[in-house]
Structure formats: C-alpha cells, structure tokens
Amino acid sequence: MSALMQAEVINLARNIIITGDDFEHVNCVNDGGNGQPPDHIQADHCTCWNNINRHKCTVGLHTIATGPGSVLSLQYTRIEKCGQRGILGKYCVHLHLINKCPDCKIIGNAVEYGHQRGTTIHGTHLATIENNVYNDIRGATIYIEDGNEMYNRIFYNVAICPWAKSGEKRGCSIPGGF
C-alpha cells in the first residue's frame, strides 16, 4: 500500500495578524543643507540628500521595544506591510537599546511585505530570534546594528526573496535604507 506524503516547507499563515495600511510614499526633506548627509539623522521624518537617489520614503507599520527593562515577546504572529524605508529606526521588528533581555523572544513569526529590515537588533543582548519566516523583505532580513550585541540566539530562520535579480524589482536589495 502506498500513500502520498509531502512536507510543509514554508507556512506564512498565522492566527494573529499585525498589518499596516498599504504602503504610503512620502516626500523627503533635505536635512543636509549642503547636499551631504547631516551629522545627526532624524528618526521622525523622511531624510534625503544629494548623493543618494531618493526623493520619497516608503512608510509602513513598525513594531519596537526600546530602552532598558523593555521586553518584546512576539510569537507565532504574522506581521505584514511593515518597515519605513528612508526613516531611521523604523523596521518591521526592532529591539532597540534594551541591554540584557533574555525574555525577548521573536519566535515562529511570518514577516512579509517589508521595507528596510525584517528584524533589527540594536544594543540588545540575550534575545532569541528563532523559527521565523521572512518573505519579500526589501532590505536586510535580520540586521545586527552595531556588531557588539552579544549572546543573541539567532537560528532556524528562513528568508525568501520572490524577485529575480533582473527585472523591475531587481531582487530584495533596495537603496535608501538606514
């Protein structure tokens, strides 16, 4: 007797969905004055200057836990239409300057249709990023911001880019992120 068997490889469906509005494209502000990047980039608006080819930013949902003592536990959730390309610190999932956070857990999520970064870890240690699926993230999938983030457990995550390197979208890399 034979039976048909198949493995489930990637599943993007989740019972809990955090979704942004459709992406909005907003005009940028030249913060440099002289056409060069400013010394301090603002995180509250779309920034541009002459040496980058950007006139608009793409704005979507962002989730963040910030500051010592904060905890982000995001598990088995779908996050979609997220990230803000061209605006500093606005990512799909962001652990920001939390310091030690062994209770920070980003596990089993599906992150889809994102701009700039899927998950960013900045100044956060001991967090777990595990068994997540990232699909169509236009920019870095998982980003360690300073390189001094320590003892984070990042394993068994999948990144999918549905766009060919040639053609209109040119893969999942995208100019104009921070």
pLDDT tens for the chain, residues 1 to 178: 777 766 667 889 999 999 999 999 998 877 655 555 555 555 677 877 666 667 888 899 999 999 999 999 999 999 999 999 888 889 999 999 999 999 999 999 999 999 999 999 999 999 999 999 999 999 999 999 999 999 999 999 999 999 887 777 778 887 666 5
Q: How much is the pLDDT for 8?
A: 63
Cα gap 134→141, rounded to integer Å: 7
Cα gap 93→64, rounded to integer Å: 6
Cα gap 94→119, rounded to integer Å: 6
User: What pTM did the predictor assign?
Assistant: 0.85
Taking the alpha carbons at both ends of the chain, their separation in whole angstroms is 57
Cα gap 51→36, rounded to integer Å: 7
Question: What is the domain partition of the chain in residue ranges?
Answer: 16-22+60-160
